[in-house]
Amino acid sequence: MKKIDWYIIKKFLSTFFFAIFLFTVIAVVIDVSEKADDFVRSHLTLRQIITNYYFGFVPHIVALLFPLFVFIAVIFFTSKMAGQSEIIAILASGTTFNRWLRPYWIGGIFLATILWFSNQYLIPKAEQVRGNFEAKYFDPNSSYENLNKSRNGSGSDLYVRIDSFTYAGIYNYDTLIKRGGPVFLHRIKNNQLVENIRAEDMNWDTTLRKWKLNFVIHRKWLGKKETIFLHTIDTMNFDFRPSDLKKDKYTKDKLITPELVRFIKQEEMHGSEGINELKVEKGRRDATPITVLLLTLIGAVVAGRKVRGGSGVHLAIGFITAALFILADKFSTIFSTKGNLPPTLATWIPNIIFFFVAIYLYKKAPK
């Protein structure tokens, strides 16, 4: 690491953090103005609004626009260096083009690592704060249980596949008290019903961390022989928990990656719909940091050339490139969640496209 490396890295990081800070302040001001009436109706103090909402909103907006602002920061400070002939002087001193790009790679890897770790563990925690607040005060009808109210309004009816041969149903399940009933369970082998369990209700035992069934009728068939068991209380070690039954539109965002992986496997086993949306979210957490590296390289190559018009031309090219990237990302996501495009391919299509864009621009750049 030489002085020129530290010089470029310092400009890179300072420009990025200033840009993201400035935009975050603007985003918060706009959000406050839009939600002022909701905040008043909530009767919460300023401190409660900040801790219960904006501690989640700020990381959400930063993560959402992180790659874009890395790109804009690289375009901005590199364009200024090119306009002041600093890059020409660096290359004229005998420094190779690849050597000049080294601090960009270092800064890009550093920011990509921060984003990757945040996507896996920190951002989901922030999404819990934001999602819970929005579901309670801004969008009370968004939750799964409210969208699936039973006729008496006491809860929702849930149907799950326990394993390849076992299916269960829970009527009037209340996510607040973690109780529902009646409950049934069917186990089928060779297209024949071999076991049937019915209970008046079921609730989550926090001590045993198991499901407790009350007033159970347990029937088994072995050929033509039927056996019946009656239990006042029985416990079942189902592979789903109360948190798995409480679904809303923020569920995929709230789960840290290990929990999301487990949730995807569970939903696949249960035969649930919307699996692609969960897989796209998982893939996006790994693909976005690579996006940061690609946009860093593209930004450096594009803005490293001194052109008439200065930073304005470079920024225009940057915004057009960013817009095309966002369009590619949105289209691939829609084709996966609403169509048959594999989720893994959907999350990586923008990176694949812009990888070739980066290679083309690199080859065309004056060295």
Cα separations in angstroms, 253 against 88, 232, 247, 250: 45, 40, 11, 5
How confident is the model over 207-222, as a mean pLDDT?
87
Does residue 266 form part of some domain? no
- Containing domain of residue 168, as a range? 151-247
pLDDT of residue 140: 53
Number of CB atoms found within 10 A of residue 344's CB: 15
For residue 262, is it within any domain?
no
Among 294-308, 320-334, 353-367, name the one with the lowest average pLDDT: 320-334
Are 105 and 192 in a shared domain?
Answer: no
Work out the average pLDDT over 343-365.
90
Considering the domain architecture, whether residues 104 and 164 belong to the same structural domain is answered as no
What integer pLDDT is reported at residue 144 of this predicted model? 41
Task: Answer whether residue 360 is part of any domain.
Answer: yes
Does residue 189 sit within a domain?
A: yes
Which tokens hold the place of 254? 């709230």
Cα–Cα dist 244/162, whole Å: 13
User: Do 131 and 164 reside in the same domain of the chain?
Assistant: no
In a domain, 237, yes or no: yes
Q: Say if residue 124 is in the same domain as residue 158.
A: no
Give 71-127 pLDDT, tens digit per residue. Answer: 989 999 998 998 888 998 998 888 999 999 999 999 999 999 999 999 999 999 999
pLDDT of residue 335: 84
Whether residue 203 is contained in a domain is answered as yes
Q: Kindly state whether residues 136 and 282 are assigned to the same domain.
A: yes
Q: Are residues 135 and 33 part of one domain?
A: yes
Of 24-33, 146-155, 252-261, 322-331, least confident by mean pLDDT is 146-155
217 is a domain residue: yes
Q: Are residues 54 and 93 in the same domain?
A: yes
Judgement on whether residues 324 and 216 belong to the same structural domain of the protein: no
166 and 98 co-located in one domain? no
Among residues 123, 124, 101, the alpha carbon closest in space to that of 293 is found at 101
In a domain, 86, yes or no: yes
Q: What is the maximal distance between C-alpha atoms in the chain? A: 91
The answer on 105 and 27 residing in a single domain is yes
Same domain, 45 and 126: yes
Query: The pTM is what?
Result: 0.77
Structural domain count, the chain: 2
Give me the percent of the chain exceeding a pLDDT of 70. Answer: 90
